[in-house]
Amino acid sequence: MTTPSTLPFDACRAQTCAALQMLAAGQQWRETWLTLQRRRLSRDSAALRGTLEAMRDANDWNDFAVGSQAALRDYLSASMAIWQEGVAATMQGAGAWSDTARETMQQWQQSMNGFPGSFGGAALPMREWMAAFERAVSPAAAAGDAAAKRTTQARRAADSGAHHAD
């Protein structure tokens, strides 16, 4: 049997764990960002070396154009890879934050159940808010919201065109 004095500790522990998880996720994001920055510096350095070699080895404008185009192609390819990795890291970070927030709320609610003076039904609005938040941050929801917005805009445009036709 759990005594009322341990329940507040459980709630505090759940919130402290959540805060530490968020700090760990933040640290992981900073490390990822630093890795991306290093790759950007390396990409820029390679592009400068490639352009310099193209200029040094060129016998005429055509040679320089071929060499500089190769350097530009490599630069753009590396840029796209870095961009894709950055987007993936951002999505992963948002998912980690959402998961941590959901777990925190579940742990907090579980730790407060049965505690005298607990919120009982007062937690329902928070559950609804968390459910809405999870739907909002999911990639499928973002695509669905964009499609719904376009449909609404198209409907409004059609309606306004029908009114002008009268």
Band of pLDDT at residue 166, cut at 50, 70 and 90: very low
Q: In the predicted model, what is the mean pLDDT of residues 29-44?
A: 94
Indicate the residue type of 51.
T
Report yes or no on whether pTM surpasses 0.85.
no
Helix (H, G, I), strand (E, B) or coil at 77: helix
So what's the pLDDT on residue 6?
A: 55
Tens of pLDDT, residue by residue over 101-144, are 788 777 777 777 666 555 555 556 666 777 777 777 776 655 55
Tens of pLDDT, residue by residue over 46-75, are 999 999 999 999 999 999 999 999 999 999
- Look up residue 16 and give its two tokens: 């402290």
